[in-house]
Amino acid sequence: MISGQITVRLRLAIGATSIVVSTLMMSVFIGLIPDKARSVADGRAQLCEVIAVYNSALLLKNDLRSMKFALEGIAKHNSEVRSIGIRRHAGQLVHSTEGHEKSWVSADAALSTVDQIRVPLIADGKDWGTVEVAFEPLVPGGLLGFIQQPWLQLPMGVGAACCLFFWLYLGRTLKQLDPSSAVPGRVREALDGLAESLIVVDHKGLVRFSNRVFTDLVGVPREKMIGRSIARLPWNSLSTTGDRSMATVGDMPWDVSHRDRVACVGEIMELTAGDGSIRTLNVSCSPILGPNGVCRGVMICGDDITHLEDIKKQLRIARDRADAASAAKSAFVANMSHEIRTPLNAVLGFADVLRRGMAQSREEEIEYLDLIHRSGRHLLDLINNILDLANIESGHLQIESLTFATPNRS
């Protein structure tokens, strides 16, 4: 269905074209614009008058032979002349060029036309006969000939050109009109004071209103933003997983809202701002319905949540790091448990053997005691390493710098 703006544009173009065409037709009829057909008809009439005068002079001399040669010469050197004939009053064709009987289709007509002209011949003051000149048709017959009439061609051609020109010119003019000028100043100030971006687009996706927040965000003055396609702005769609993809026409939330006539709420979009930074917007779209239910446009609200998204990203990074650290600590505790359990089992086992007096000799007791001592030293080293790691994490590790002699290897 044609929108209201297109209807106004069409009416203005037709009205302006009608004025131009009417003026041209009036100018043609009153003679302000030269008529080519009339000029050609006048030239043909003058040629026939000359032929009649010349042949009348030859009749006075009774030189019919020269009259025949003159007719053939005129017809040969004039491309517009199809045939020429001289006819007596009784209807007898005295002289004629080739094909005159076929070319002259109205021999009995009393009036001449622009394509067939009859001029009387005078001899001794008496009406002797007529000169008949058949010309090439100025315009073909039928509907094609009617369309090719000069008085019709000019208004039709100019009218078509003017209609196209006015259509394009009015389209550009209406596109540049600022619909926000129809919004009262107080309302515009209230909309400019909103913390959210507010944009109104028509059914073609062209911006018809934008508040100051959005124009400052994209770095484009309001007068240049009006009439610009909202889809040509550098939008990126942002999925719930944080993956970016270029938004295409038809996938935009305002396109979906316009097509399905439903509100789209909570769409996360990214927009490249005028300073080159990436801004994240929480976009909500609501269709603007006319009285007949046709969607006239879409109102778009965008809340800048870039700061919140940055915080979410930092929290996700911190969470991932904490998860990685927790996994590393779990693996460390598992490894340390295995490392501590091995020497501790040796200490407890050999101590139990000695406690029960199961050693066969003094040498065997000393061997068991050495194993208990080595396992205890190993266990002490592991505990010291764990304490050093704890001191490193808490920032209490002390480093001593000592000098020592390098052994001579020569």
Beta carbons within 10 angstroms of residue 215's beta carbon? 21
Domain membership of residue 174 (yes or no) is no
Q: How many domains does the chain have?
A: 3
Domain membership of residue 26 (yes or no) is no
Residues 376 and 342 in one domain: yes
Domain membership of residue 168 (yes or no) is no
Residues 201 and 291 in one domain: yes
Looking at residue 1, what is its pLDDT?
A: 34
- Residue where one domain finishes, among candidates 304, 326, 357: 304
Looking at residue 171, what is its pLDDT?
A: 64
Closest by CA to 47, choosing from 77, 22, 69, is 77
Percent of the chain surpassing pLDDT 90: 6
pLDDT in tens, 258-289: 888 899 998 888 898 888 888 899 999 999 88
Question: What average pLDDT score do residues 280-305 get?
Answer: 88
Looking at residue 112, what is its pLDDT?
A: 76
Domain membership of residue 399 (yes or no) is no
Q: Is the pLDDT of residue 251 over 90?
A: no
Q: Which of 64-78, 132-146, 336-350, 385-399 has the lowest mean pLDDT?
A: 132-146
This prediction has a pTM of 0.43
Q: Is the pLDDT of residue 181 over 60?
A: no
Domain membership of residue 67 (yes or no) is yes
Looking at residue 381, what is its pLDDT?
A: 86
Residues 200 and 300 in one domain: yes
In the numeric block, the tokens 């100043």 are attached to 185
**Is the separation of the CB atoms in 85 and 100 below 8 Å?**
yes
Question: What average pLDDT score do residues 195-224 get?
Answer: 87
Residues 64 and 125 in one domain: yes
Looking at residue 241, what is its pLDDT?
A: 44
- The CATH number for 251's domain is 3.30.450.20
Domain membership of residue 271 (yes or no) is yes
Looking at residue 250, what is its pLDDT?
A: 58
Closest by CA to 71, choosing from 88, 101, 92, 48, is 48
285 vs 69: CA distance, rounded Å = 90
Q: Is the pLDDT of residue 204 over 60?
A: yes
* Domain interval for residue 388: 313-394
Q: What are the Cα distances from residue 198, in Å, to 181, 214, 269, 285? A: 16, 7, 15, 10
70 vs 81: CA distance, rounded Å = 13
Number of alpha carbons in the 13 Å side-chain half-sphere of residue 404: 5
Q: Is the pLDDT of residue 76 over 90?
A: no
Q: What is the DSSP letter of 240?
A: T
Residues, the chain, total? Answer: 410
Residues 291 and 190 in one domain: yes
Give the confidence band of 2 by pLDDT, cuts at 50, 70, 90: very low
**Is the separation of the CB atoms in 25 and 155 below 8 Å?**
yes
Looking at residue 410, what is its pLDDT?
A: 54
Domain membership of residue 195 (yes or no) is yes
**Is the separation of the CB atoms in 132 and 84 below 8 Å?**
yes
End-to-end CA distance of the chain: 102
Residues 297 and 350 in one domain: no
Q: Strand 93-96 relative to strand 264-272: parallel, antiparallel, unpaired?
A: unpaired
Contact residues for 176 (Cβ-Cβ < 8 A; gap 6+) = 226, 227
Residues 332 and 299 in one domain: no
Contact residues for 103 (Cβ-Cβ < 8 A; gap 6+) = 82, 83, 134
In the numeric block, the tokens 């904490």 are attached to 322
Domain membership of residue 360 (yes or no) is yes
Question: What average pLDDT score do residues 291-317 get?
Answer: 88
Residues 271 and 320 in one domain: no
Looking at residue 338, what is its pLDDT?
A: 83
Contact residues for 137 (Cβ-Cβ < 8 A; gap 6+) = 115, 145
